[in-house]
Amino acid sequence: MKMLQWLAAVAFVVAGIALLCAPASAQVKMTFLPTRFTVTDEGTGGKPDVVLIPGLASSKSVWDAEATLLAPNYRLHLVQVDGFAGAPAGANVAGPILAGIVEELHGYIAATKIHPVVIGHSLGGLLTLMLADKYPADVRKMVIVDALPFYGLVFDPNATLASVAPQAKVIHDQMIVTPDDQFAMMQPMMVGAMVKDAAGQKAVVASSIASDRKVFANAMLEDLQTDLRPDMGKIQTPALVLYEYDAESKTTNAGQYEATVKSAYSTMPHVTLVRVDGSRHFIMYDQPVKMDAAMESFLR
């Protein structure tokens, strides 16, 4: 009996040591539960950790090709925003969305005790900038894939929050009331202006249609009502900005957009701008090799 008690005690102590020695992320993930997104861990590499955030109405799967390339050398944290691409709406169903996501990204980074590179596309890029602005110690480096600190500049290089507000509200309200069948019919045409790659177009269309329409519209409205330009000069985090350039586009003036990007990031002290020729908004689909080469060089 004494031998059994001794063995049980040893097993208890060993189990306790194993728990204490387990990676911090494995412990805290049980206690930190984001309410606005989920995170999938991938990759067999070591540090630095890399957090990847998709854009408006997008699935985390937009990063699949890039994640495969990064996985051998980095530990990846793939974010899926609730309400996008078929994910349940969760806490994003009502009220402000973007600030809440930023707070929970900060909470996740603190809980898992990581100091990651953060990569964001489109709305995910704006969220990355917001995180680095509010919590600069959280972000080691950041990669912004075709995003602006104020999206209203796409409509007008001289845009302000006030000038964009009426148009943004109209777009938002129209998205909400459009019948599902009409919305689905419109998506291929709209997505075609953002993606050249045929398979990429199908994936983006599917994610848009599967997204919770209210979360989709509200997040878009918040995006259009967020202007980080006054803060760009104080963001010290090293940044790589990849931006689209498609001379063949019939919907975007490539030269004008390039000038807009350069102007928007002109006051940021540690930023590298890289133009990706032959791509539209979803650079990861249109020019994956060019995007990966730029990212790998920056992450080293």
Q: Domain-by-domain residue ranges, the chain?
A: 34-299
Instruction: Give the whole-angstrom CA distance, residue 286 versus residue 146.
Output: 12
pLDDT tens, residue order, the chain (300 aa)? 333 333 233 333 333 323 333 333 333 344 688 999 999 998 877 778 999 999 999 999 999 999 999 999 999 999 999 999 999 999 999 999 999 999 999 999 999 999 999 999 999 999 999 999 999 999 999 999 999 999 999 989 999 999 999 999 999 999 999 999 999 999 999 999 999 999 999 999 999 999 999 999 999 999 999 999 999 999 999 999 999 999 888 778 999 999 999 999 999 999 999 999 999 999 999 999 999 999 999 998
DSSP string, 140-207: SEEEEES--SSGGGGT-TT--HHHHHHHHHHHHHHHHHS-HHHHHHHHHHHHHTT--SHHHHHHHHHH
Contacts of residue 158, defined as CB under 8 A and 6 or more positions apart, other chains included, come to: none
In this structure, which topology does domain 34-299 adopt according to CATH?
Rossmann fold (3.40.50)
Q: Name the pTM for this structure.
A: 0.89
* Sign of the four-CA dihedral 243, 245, 250, 253: positive
